[in-house]
């Protein structure tokens, strides 16, 4: 490789035109020695929302039929590593895996899914978990759908009207019974059901679809040379578009055309310029696709991490604003390596019996609640790796990408044993650039509008949406995301969860 | 066994509205607010024809109306291809647009429809790659580079680069660059030099500057920045008119000479525009544009890929298909350009151009070579539509396709709206003694309103032309029946009753509706948008002049490009 030094990007621009340009986020990216990108401070750093979903509920005391509490932190209030790692019957509680992120997390109890499923609890939970909307009446059981859009869809389309598709990913093997449950586009006019998205399970395909295939033919120096040349051309073109847009003669439709042109330049620039993971990380992703490893359920943890890498980079590059990652299929049948010799599918373990049916329909699984706890720990470890991906992007002010948005972990059921819709486990990570308080273990019922004994979980989405600076079309805050009444169901209480809001 | 027709493609209509209404309303252009006033759309092509001749009568009248148009009109792919060639003074088109993301089907008739032309992410990627490729090719080829260095340019590299930037930039942006733009492109040139690595700094700098020009919004769009309002049309600048003319008539940007004439004020008057337009229409570049109109109507480029067989007839193959295309092109250029005439000649002239490949399909006597010879094809072959190529194109492999033929005649010659086939029928084949009988049996079961009154008879007029376009008296052992009557527009209105295709063509040539339709098509093609209400008087005027005075297509185009709607701009109402 040539040892020639390239002019620094910002110096280059200043030298070129004598002025500092409002550059897209990626213009500030530079690869650090560790192979991780550092992000220059940018006042327009885009907000993001990423939801990771697991299924089958968690092993918790609520609705657990007398089982011990092994999931939630040991105490309410300011979150500490100590309360997260406190031992239960000789083992660390599951959320202890996240202790390194204690100050950036919120654990939120006291919320439930407000609507009944329609013949399949897993499907009904998945229908509601990110939509807070009712379950379809015309389609039932494992074919039921949400009647509304999911929060990732709403955030993506509101933040990026020109690219309304959130990233929809999944880790783990498919099943013939219930696959994707998570991301919904809004219903088409005149229709009552949302449009369920299929999820990309192949990380290599996901990577290429967003960033394109990396150029492996040139060395870094030559590649950067081409990049610099292209970017300098783009700057001139961008400048021309800006000057055109300032023309008083221009109609709104023509401004939109130029916006499209500008967006196309930016998207291409980001894809071709800086939006690639280091080779050491691309290699396994490519192999996972080429070798069909994503179809191997024993690789679900690796796939989760790869997908998280892809999502984090897409956010860092400003290419996407919302994404979802579904772990396992709808009623997760993954056989997790929990070190006890168990080869039971997780769904069986969650029911505590050797089968997919209800209690008593098959022989019990001994220590199933503990096995479920071990699976929970795996899920929490996977989520920690997800957070690692976001924390790896450092901003110039010392914060990280994680601090710019919200990463949500949720399960579409509450307790595994009962498959209930109560006390749904929710964890948020990240402060949305300071709009959210973090480092708390709270009960939403203390600072939100409960309905009956529980807080409708749509209020969590209201809080997140507003924290991200997303508003309704008229600019007002969102206070009633999800179900808007009808279909035989009352509209749940709206509002936000006060304890999560900063200031 | 009797031949059968499988019901696989029917332009049948179960719904009656469009067929019964049967009239093309004027479109509502972008931002016009639309609807044609409180009573909704009101102008029809009948109105176009029958509008009383108020005030000034004749093609020379000035009609001060215009429809709103955008500030930016993206180039079509062929326009990009031509413009890139002409900006860089290449010897031929690069062909790079062949890899561009294809535009979706236009909402109107032609791919020039500005409503359909956007820069998507994928297309931008294509533009960028093509710009880099072309800039690289030009700077890597000493001969190509020498062509874009203006005469008298300094030999010192930077000074020469600035001369190139000014000259190429002017062709690319269709106006002189501002000094600020020159400065920025020269900064790019300088920066390119800094990033040259082992390459020549001068060439890398030029490459970047040229690449930037080809990616500029001023190159990729036809830009009009004349300040206009939504209520009062404003006259475009001479340079903007030059661009409109050039893309309309040449499918490329204005060359140095046209830009110079615009700067000299030659386009500041209507008479000046007319004079320049007539000169441009006499240029070879206009011939290709004229043919582009028909390419999109009758798909000339597809003839060589057809597979057609007529029992006992000469063999049809790709070479024959190419000859049929050239035959039609020669005929069209003869009527459109060489001896400028109008719709009557297009529909009735029996002049033909044949060579050894295509002559057998006309059963012409005499010796023919590969050279095309001007001949009179006789009364059976009036106009372009009855020539072998279009007839073969509008056929199946072994039998004519009367629905395609009827659909073409109604939609493209009379602007009668015919809905798309609502569904494809698959089922038992239909029987009959002739192709006509089989199609009648098939279409009698569905969509009879459209088929009986419109499509079938219009298509049956051409039953004497077999699947290769060759004349036939018999269909099997039955005498071909090409008689019929069809309506233009509403049922039983504007009825044409005919004995055969030649008779139908003669009557169409005298049909006010056909002349109005012809005017509309040329307006849409030249303007890159369908006409709005504001253009109704203009089109009525052209149609009447075409009908009464037999004006040529060239005259019609000149009338369009000298009208207010072409040389002024009205802003959309945002």
Lowest mean pLDDT among A478-487, B210-219, B516-525: A478-487
* A389-392 contacts at long range (C-beta below 8 A, 24 or more positions apart): A389/A305, A389/A308, A389/A309, A389/A311, A389/A312, A390/A50, A390/A308, A390/A312, A390/A315, A390/A429, A390/A430, A391/A101, A392/A36, A392/A312
Are the beta carbons of B216 and A232 separated by less than 8 Å? no
Specify the higher pLDDT residue, B559 or B423.
B559
Specify the higher pLDDT residue, A218 or B367.
B367
Q: Which residues of A touch B74 (CB under 8 A)?
A: 257
Q: What is the pLDDT of residue A231?
A: 81
Are the beta carbons of B226 and A260 separated by less than 8 Å? no
Are the beta carbons of A268 and B74 separated by less than 8 Å? no
Mean local confidence (pLDDT), B69-91: 95
Q: What is the pLDDT of residue A487?
A: 59
Are the beta carbons of B74 and A229 separated by less than 8 Å? no
Are the beta carbons of B208 and A229 separated by less than 8 Å? yes
Specify the higher pLDDT residue, B483 or B3.
B483
Reduce the secondary structure of B380-420 to three states and give it as a string: CCCCCCCCHHHHHHCECCCCECHHHHHHHHHHHHCCCCCCC
Q: What is the C-alpha separation between A421 and B539, in angstroms, rounded?
A: 68
Neighbour-count burial of B490, counting CB atoms closer than 10 A to its CB (0-12 exposed, 13-18 middle, 19+ buried): middle
Q: How far is CA B306 from CA B318, B395, B562, in A?
A: 7, 10, 41
Q: Are B472 and B310 in contact (CB under 8 A)?
A: yes
Give the bridge partners for B221, in sequence order.
B74
Report yes or no: A16 at the B interface, CB cutoff 8 Å.
yes
Q: State how far residue A451 is from chain B, nearest Cα, in angstroms.
A: 46
SS3 helix, strand, coil % of chain A, rounded to 5?
40, 15, 50
Confidence of residue B29 (pLDDT cuts 50, 70, 90): very low
pLDDT in tens, B228-261: 777 888 899 999 999 999 999 999 999 999 999 9
Specify the higher pLDDT residue, A366 or B56.
A366
Q: What is the pLDDT of residue B48?
A: 34
Are the beta carbons of B217 and A222 separated by less than 8 Å? no
pLDDT at position B520 over 80:
yes
Share of chain A above pLDDT 70, in %: 85
Select the residue of B124, B187, B197 nearest A265 (Cβ to Cβ).
B124
Q: Which residues of A touch B181 (CB under 8 A)?
A: 240
Q: What is the pLDDT of residue B379?
A: 94
Give the bridge partners for B68, in sequence order.
B570
Minimal-distance CA residue of chain A relative to B210: A233
pLDDT in tens, A263-316: 778 766 655 555 778 888 899 999 999 999 999 989 999 999 999 999 999 998
Q: What is the pLDDT of residue B12?
A: 29
pLDDT at position A215 over 90:
no
Q: Which residues of A touch B126 (CB under 8 A)?
A: none
Report yes or no: B194 at the A interface, CB cutoff 8 Å.
yes
Specify the higher pLDDT residue, B44 or B262.
B262
pLDDT in tens, B262-272: 999 999 999 99
Are the beta carbons of A232 and B574 separated by less than 8 Å? no
Select the residue of B132, B221, B225 nearest A247 (Cβ to Cβ).
B225
Report yes or no: A251 at the B interface, CB cutoff 8 Å.
yes
Q: Are B168 and B213 in contact (CB under 8 A)?
A: yes
Specify the higher pLDDT residue, B314 or B51.
B314
Sole residue written with tokens 């310029």: A273
Q: Tally C-beta pairs within 8 A across A and B.
A: 107
Lowest mean pLDDT among B83-87, B102-106, B400-404: B102-106
Mean local confidence (pLDDT), B120-132: 83
pLDDT at position B540 over 50:
yes
pLDDT at position A4 over 80:
no
pTM, full prediction:
0.60
Q: Are B11 and B455 in contact (CB under 8 A)?
A: yes
| CB atoms inside a 10 Å sphere around CB A40 | 17
Average pLDDT, chain A: 84
Confidence of residue A385 (pLDDT cuts 50, 70, 90): very high
Q: State how far residue A449 is from chain B, nearest Cα, in angstroms.
A: 43
pLDDT at position A37 over 70:
no
pLDDT at position B76 over 50:
yes
Q: Which residues of A touch B184 (CB under 8 A)?
A: 17, 236, 239
**With b meaning 16 or more CB within 10 Å and e meaning fewer, what string describes B167-196?**
bbbbbbbbbebeeebbebbbbbbbbbbbbb
Query: Among residues 195-234 of chain B, which lie with CB inside 8 Å of chain A?
Result: 195, 197, 204, 208, 211-212, 215-218, 220-221, 223-228
Q: What is the pLDDT of residue B24?
A: 35
Are the beta carbons of B120 and A264 separated by less than 8 Å? yes
Q: What is the pLDDT of residue B2?
A: 40
Specify the higher pLDDT residue, A121 or A220.
A121
The angle formed by the CA atoms of residues B51, B52 and B58, to the nearest 5 degrees, is: 95
Q: What is the pLDDT of residue B429?
A: 52
pLDDT at position A430 over 90:
yes
Specify the higher pLDDT residue, A34 or A367.
A367
Which residue, among A11, A233, A245, would best test binding to B if mutated, counting the most B CBs under 10 Å from its CB?
A233
Q: What is the pLDDT of residue B574?
A: 64
The answer for residues whose C-beta is within 8 angstroms of residue A279's C-beta and 6 or more apart is A214
Report yes or no: A261 at the B interface, CB cutoff 8 Å.
yes
Are the beta carbons of B188 and A232 separated by less than 8 Å? yes
If we measure between CA atoms, which residue out of B43, B16, B14, B18 comes closest to residue B28? B43
pLDDT at position B365 over 90:
no
Q: State how far residue B376 is from chain A, nearest Cα, in angstroms.
A: 51
Select the residue of A237, A254, A263 nearest B215 (Cβ to Cβ).
A237
If we measure between CA atoms, which residue out of B505, B508, B504, B527 comes closest to residue B516? B508
Q: What is the pLDDT of residue A220?
A: 57
Share of chain A above pLDDT 90, in %: 56
Minimal-distance CA residue of chain B relative to A2: B197
pLDDT in tens, A463-478: 999 999 999 889 999 9
pLDDT at position A25 over 70:
no
Report yes or no: A263 at the B interface, CB cutoff 8 Å.
yes
Query: Among residues 555-574 of chain B, which lie with CB inside 8 Å of chain A?
Result: 571-572, 574
Report yes or no: B191 at the A interface, CB cutoff 8 Å.
yes
pLDDT in tens, B468-493: 999 998 888 888 888 888 877 766 67
Confidence of residue A164 (pLDDT cuts 50, 70, 90): confident
Q: What is the pLDDT of residue A266?
A: 73
Mean local confidence (pLDDT), A482-486: 74
What ipTM, to 2 d.p.? 0.77
Lowest mean pLDDT among A116-130, A153-167, A481-495, B380-394: A481-495
If we measure between CA atoms, which residue out of A270, A261, A258 comes closest to residue A230? A270
Are the beta carbons of A257 and B572 separated by less than 8 Å? no
Minimal-distance CA residue of chain A relative to B132: A230
Q: What is the pLDDT of residue B16?
A: 28
pLDDT at position B572 over 90:
no
pLDDT at position B283 over 50:
yes
Are the beta carbons of A236 and B218 separated by less than 8 Å? no
Q: Are A135 and A146 in contact (CB under 8 A)?
A: yes
pLDDT at position B315 over 70:
yes
Q: Which residues of A touch B72 (CB under 8 A)?
A: 244, 254, 257-258
pLDDT at position A341 over 70:
yes
Minimal-distance CA residue of chain A relative to B177: A240
Query: Among residues 205-244 of chain A, which lie with CB inside 8 Å of chain B?
Result: 222, 225, 228-230, 232-234, 236-237, 239-241, 244
pLDDT in tens, B155-195: 999 999 999 999 999 999 999 999 999 999 999 999 887 77
Confidence of residue A7 (pLDDT cuts 50, 70, 90): very low
Are the beta carbons of B71 and A222 separated by less than 8 Å? no
Select the residue of B31, B217, B574 nearest A240 (Cβ to Cβ).
B217
Are the beta carbons of B124 and A241 separated by less than 8 Å? no
Report yes or no: A4 at the B interface, CB cutoff 8 Å.
yes
Q: State how far residue B120 is from chain A, nearest Cα, in angstroms.
A: 6
Report yes or no: B50 at the A interface, CB cutoff 8 Å.
no
Q: Which residues of A touch B211 (CB under 8 A)?
A: 233
Q: What is the pLDDT of residue A398?
A: 80
Q: State how far residue B183 is from chain A, nearest Cα, in angstroms.
A: 9
Minimal-distance CA residue of chain B relative to A272: B125
Select the residue of B125, B212, B225 nearest A237 (Cβ to Cβ).
B212
Q: Which residues of B touch A265 (CB under 8 A)?
A: 124
Select the residue of A222, A228, A268 nearest B121 (Cβ to Cβ).
A268
pLDDT in tens, B135-158: 999 999 999 999 999 999 999 999
Lowest mean pLDDT among A17-26, A384-393, B18-27, B382-391: A17-26
Q: What is the pLDDT of residue B194?
A: 76
Q: State how far residue A75 is from chain B, nearest Cα, in angstroms.
A: 51
Are the beta carbons of A240 and B218 separated by less than 8 Å? yes
Mean local confidence (pLDDT), B417-443: 63
Confidence of residue A184 (pLDDT cuts 50, 70, 90): very high
Lowest mean pLDDT among A229-238, A260-269, B298-307: A260-269
Mean local confidence (pLDDT), B41-49: 30
Q: State how far residue B9 is from chain A, nearest Cα, in angstroms.
A: 31
């Amino acid at each position: 490789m040539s040892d020639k030094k390239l002019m620094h990007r910002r110096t280059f621009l200043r030298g070129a035109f004598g002025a500092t340009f409002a550059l897209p986020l990626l213009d500030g990216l530079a690869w650090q020695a560790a192979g991780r990108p550092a992000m220059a401070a940018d006042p327009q750093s885009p907000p993001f929302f990423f939801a990771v979903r697991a299924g089958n509920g968690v092993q918790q005391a609520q609705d657990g039929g007398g089982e011990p509490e092994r999931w939630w932190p040991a105490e309410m209030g300011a979150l500490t590593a100590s309360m997260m790692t406190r031992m239960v019957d000789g083992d660390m509680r599951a959320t202890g895996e996240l202790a390194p992120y204690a100050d950036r997390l919120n654990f939120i109890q006291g919320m439930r899914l407000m609507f009944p499923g329609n013949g399949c609890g897993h499907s009904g939970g998945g229908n509601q978990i990110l939509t807070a909307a009712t379950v379809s009446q015309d389609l039932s059981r494992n074919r039921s759908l949400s009647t509304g859009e999911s929060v990732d869809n709403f955030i993506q389309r509101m933040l990026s009207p020109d690219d309304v598709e959130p990233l929809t990913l999944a880790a783990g093997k498919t099943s013939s019974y219930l696959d994707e449950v998570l991301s919904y586009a809004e219903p088409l006019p005149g229709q009552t059901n949302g449009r369920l998205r299929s999820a990309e399970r192949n990380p290599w395909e996901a990577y290429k679809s967003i960033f394109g295939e990396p150029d492996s033919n040139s060395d870094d120096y030559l590649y950067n040379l081409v990049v610099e040349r292209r970017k300098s051309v783009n700057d001139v073109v961008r400048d021309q578009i800006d000057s055109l847009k300032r023309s008083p003669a221009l109609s709104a439709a023509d401004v939109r055309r130029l916006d499209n042109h500008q967006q196309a330049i930016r998207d291409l620039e980001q894809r071709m310029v800086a939006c690639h993971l280091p080779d050491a990380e691309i290699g396994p992703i490519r192999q996972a696709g080429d070798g069909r490893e994503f179809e191997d359920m024993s690789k679900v943890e690796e796939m989760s991490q790869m997908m998280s890498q892809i999502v984090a980079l897409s956010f860092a590059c400003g290419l996407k604003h919302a994404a979802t990652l579904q772990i396992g299929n709808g009623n997760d049948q993954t056989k997790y390596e929990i070190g006890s010799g168990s080869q039971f599918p997780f769904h069986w373990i969650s029911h505590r019996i050797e089968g997919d049916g209800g209690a008593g329909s098959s022989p019990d699984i001994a220590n199933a609640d503990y096995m479920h706890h071990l699976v929970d720990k795996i899920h929490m470890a996977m989520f920690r790796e997800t957070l690692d991906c976001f924390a790896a992007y450092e901003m110039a002010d010392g914060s990280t990408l994680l601090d710019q948005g919200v990463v949500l972990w949720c399960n579409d059921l509450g307790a595994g044993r009962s498959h209930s819709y109560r006390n749904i486990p929710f964890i948020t990570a990240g402060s949305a650039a300071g709009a959210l308080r973090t480092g708390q273990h709270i009960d939403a019922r203390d600072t939100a509008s409960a309905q009956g004994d529980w807080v409708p979980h749509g209020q969590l989405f209201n809080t997140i949406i507003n924290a991200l600076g997303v508003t309704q079309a008229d600019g007002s805050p969102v206070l009633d995301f999800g179900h808007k009444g009808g279909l035989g169901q009352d509209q749940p209480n709206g509002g936000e969860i006060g304890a999560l809001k900063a200031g | 066994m009797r031949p059968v027709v499988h019901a696989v493609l029917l332009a049948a209509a179960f719904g009656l509205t469009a067929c019964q209404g049967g009239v093309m309303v004027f479109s509502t252009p972008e931002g016009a607010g639309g609807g044609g006033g409180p009573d909704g759309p009101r102008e029809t092509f009948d109105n176009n024809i029958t509008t009383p001749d108020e005030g000034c009568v004749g093609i020379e009248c000035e009609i001060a109306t215009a429809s709103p148009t955008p500030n930016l009109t993206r180039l079509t792919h062929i326009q990009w291809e031509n413009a890139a060639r002409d900006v860089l003074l290449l010897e031929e088109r690069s062909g790079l647009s062949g890899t561009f993301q294809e535009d979706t089907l236009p909402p109107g008739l032609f791919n020039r429809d500005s409503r359909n032309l956007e820069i998507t992410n994928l297309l931008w990627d294509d533009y960028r790659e093509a710009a880099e490729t072309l800039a690289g090719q030009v700077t890597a080829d000493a001969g190509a580079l020498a062509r874009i260095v203006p005469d008298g340019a300094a030999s010192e590299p930077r000074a020469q680069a600035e001369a190139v930037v000014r000259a190429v930039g002017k062709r690319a942006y269709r106006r002189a660059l501002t000094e600020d733009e020159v400065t920025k492109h020269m900064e790019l040139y300088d920066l390119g030099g800094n990033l040259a690595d082992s390459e020549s700094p001068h060439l890398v700098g030029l490459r970047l500057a040229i690449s930037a020009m080809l990616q500029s919004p001023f190159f990729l769009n036809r830009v009009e920045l004349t300040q206009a309002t939504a209520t009062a049309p404003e006259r475009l600048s001479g340079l903007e008119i030059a661009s409109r003319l050039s893309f309309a008539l040449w499918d490329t940007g204005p060359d140095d000479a046209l830009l110079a004439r615009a700067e000299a004020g030659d386009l500041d008057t209507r008479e000046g525009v007319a004079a320049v337009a007539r000169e441009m229409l006499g240029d070879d570049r206009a011939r290709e544009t004229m043919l582009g109109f028909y390419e999109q109507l009758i798909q000339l480029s597809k003839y060589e890929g057809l597979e057609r067989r007529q029992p006992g007839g000469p063999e049809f193959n790709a070479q024959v298909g190419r000859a049929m295309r050239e035959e039609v092109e020669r005929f069209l250029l003869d009527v459109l350009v060489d001896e400028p005439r109008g719709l009557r000649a297009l529909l009735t002239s029996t002049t033909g151009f044949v060579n050894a490949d295509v002559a057998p399909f006309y059963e012409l006597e005499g010796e023919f070579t590969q050279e095309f010879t001007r001949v009179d094809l006789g009364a059976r072959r009036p106009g372009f539509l009855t020539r072998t190529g279009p007839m073969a194109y509008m056929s199946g492999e072994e039998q004519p396709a009367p629905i395609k033929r009827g659909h073409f005649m109604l939609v493209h010659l009379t602007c009668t709206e015919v809905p798309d086939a609502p569904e494809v029928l698959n089922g038992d084949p239909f029987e009959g003694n002739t192709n006509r009988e089989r199609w009648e049996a098939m279409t009698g079961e569905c969509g009879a309103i459209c088929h009986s009154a419109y499509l079938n008879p219009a298509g049956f007029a051409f039953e004497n032309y077999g699947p290769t376009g060759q004349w036939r008296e018999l269909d099997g052992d039955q005498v071909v029946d090409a008689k019929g009557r069809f309506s233009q527009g509403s049922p039983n209105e504007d009825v044409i009753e005919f004995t055969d295709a030649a008779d139908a063509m003669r009557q169409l040539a005298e049909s006010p509706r056909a002349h109005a339709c012809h005017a509309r098509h040329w307006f849409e093609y030249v303007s890159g948008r369908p006409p709005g209400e504001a253009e109704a008087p203009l089109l009525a005027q052209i149609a009447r002049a075409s009908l009464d005075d037999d004006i040529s297509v060239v005259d019609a185009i000149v009338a369009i490009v000298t009208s207010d709607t072409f040389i002024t701009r009205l802003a959309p109402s945002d």
